[in-house]
Amino acid sequence: MKIRENVPIAKLTTMRLGGPARYVIEIERVEDLPEAYAFAAEKDLPVYVLGGGSNIVGRDGGFDGVILVNRLLGMGEVAPAKDDKIELWAASGEALDDFVRYSTKYGWSGMECLSAIPGTVGAAPVQNVGAYGQDIAGVLKNVEAYNIKTKQFVTLPASKLDLGYRRSIFNTGELVGRYFITKITVTLEKTELKPPFYNSLQKYLDDNEIDEYTPENIRKAVHAVRTKLPNPEFIASSGSFFKNVYLNEDDSKKAIDKGIPVWDGGKIPSGWLIENAGLKGQLIHGMRVWETASLVLVNESAKSYKDLDAARKEIIKTVQDKYGLTLEQEPMELGDE
Ligand SMILES: Cc1cc2nc3c(=O)[nH]c(=O)nc-3n(C[C@H](O)[C@H](O)[C@H](O)COP(=O)(O)OP(=O)(O)OC[C@H]3O[C@@H](n4cnc5c(N)ncnc54)[C@H](O)[C@@H]3O)c2cc1C
């Protein structure tokens, strides 16, 4: 077990902000987990689990605790395919994008639209990652995890995870921090994919005269469409910084009367609100509202979490003043202010 001390959270997260974490341990084998948690307990320190750090913002005061960085690898078939269905598993430290590529290679469908989402397999159920009309909840069979309280390895069926829009028992409610996810299993099908796809995806397919809707072709198309988003390898960001807004029927009608687009189920694209509040492309306290996706905030020249905080407040207030709607942040936060 490799233990490092005083590692900046900025170096572990794609927004590249945040002060030092007291200890960082890389988890390469599930057997490391009891030992790593015992190490933290012995020192009476809190533990935080990190995958790729693409949905976490570090605060300036750092983290007086132990960060476990997930490096668990491996993926494969649970059993040979049957009745045009298959179960695939992946260890939680694998890149989600690699798991998606593996699934489409042999024509399996259900995850192709999750292609190119940064981060690890293990984080996917945490906020129920989703894109282009799919989410991990749609295919997830179960999650294997280490229960920190009972010190046991458990299997949790998807039905017990309360998966919703950017939500699960892992990020909402009393079980937050209880589990280290070690592995997931998904059920995929060999089915014909049917258009129409999500607007921008469909447009790409039409423009490029792609009419063979194989999972692999859709995966590649999603990759191409997503080039409008900043690549966290080169540009500091946590992707979408705000969640979309969901309204009840009455409030949806009021929003429509004000000329705000409301999609199925009362969804308002927050990117539209930010763009139409005049913030598209703006540099605010060192944070850039991304020109081709207004929901995304990029850390262009922010010196600290304080700059991000000031930018966030300004964006929320501008949208609130113009549309009377309050944006809610998507990424979680780690450390002291
Ligand atoms: C450019 C960009 C585009 C993005 N696009 C999308 C998108 O289209 N759709 C979408 O849903 N998200 C998107 N995201 C957000 C992000 O990619 C996802 O939330 C992803 O699942 C985060 O994975 P990670 O490994 O980086 O998690 P981290 O940021 O490291 O962790 C996220 C949360 O999960 C917890 N966690 C991580 N691993 C485990 C584990 N093994 N066990 C228990 N808890 C764990 C952490 O404690 C933390 O609370 C985007 C981000 C970026 C930077």
185-237 pLDDT, tens digit each? 999 999 878 899 998 999 999 999 999 999 999 999 999 999 999 999 999 99
pLDDT at 117: 97
Q: Which of 22, 59, 101, 166 is flagged as catalytic?
A: 166
Q: Measure CA 71 to chain center.
A: 17
Q: Is residue 18 within 6 Å of ligand 1 at its C-beta?
A: no
pLDDT at 34: 97
Cis, bond preceding 46 (omega within 30 deg of 0)? no
pLDDT at 52: 98
- Index of the ligand 1 atom closest to the CA of residue 122: 41
Domain boundaries, the chain: 2-70, 75-228, 237-334
Weakly modelled stretches of the chain, pLDDT under 50: none
144 is catalytic: no
pLDDT at 271: 96
CATH topology of domain 237-334: 3.90.78
Q: Is residue 129 within 6 Å of ligand 1 at its C-beta?
A: yes
Pick the CATH number of 75-228 from 1.10.10.10, 3.40.50.2300, 3.30.465.10, 3.30.360.10: 3.30.465.10
Quote the longest CA-to-CA distance of the chain.
61
Q: Is residue 239 within 6 Å of ligand 1 at its C-beta?
A: yes
301 is catalytic: no
142-196 pLDDT, tens digit each? 999 999 999 999 999 999 999 999 999 999 999 999 999 999 999 999 987 889 9
Q: Is residue 15 within 6 Å of ligand 1 at its C-beta?
A: no
Distance (Å, whole) CA 2 – CA 236? 26
pLDDT at 192: 76
Q: Measure CA 239 to chain center.
A: 8
Whose alpha carbon is nearest atom 2 of ligand 1?
Answer: 239
Q: Is residue 54 within 6 Å of ligand 1 at its C-beta?
A: yes
Q: Is residue 244 within 6 Å of ligand 1 at its C-beta?
A: no
Residue count (the chain): 337
Per 3-state DSSP, the chain is made up of helix, strand and coil in percentages (nearest 5) of: 30, 30, 45
Distance (Å, whole) CA 202 – CA 214? 14
Instruction: List the one residue out of 173, 182, 148 whose CA is nearest residue 30.
Output: 182
330 is catalytic: yes
The 10 Å Cβ neighbour count of residue 330 is 18
Whose alpha carbon is nearest atom 6 of ligand 1?
Answer: 117
- The reply to whether 75-228 and 237-334 are identical in fold is no
* Cα 120 to ligand 1 centre (Å): 7
Architecture, CATH, for domain 2-70? 2-Layer Sandwich (3.30)
- Index of the ligand 1 atom closest to the CA of residue 231: 1
How, if at all, do strands 20-27 and 56-58 pair? unpaired
pLDDT at 193: 87
Q: Measure CA 235 to chain center.
A: 17
Ligand 1: residue of 30, 54, 294 to mutate (most ligand atoms within 8 A of CB) is: 54
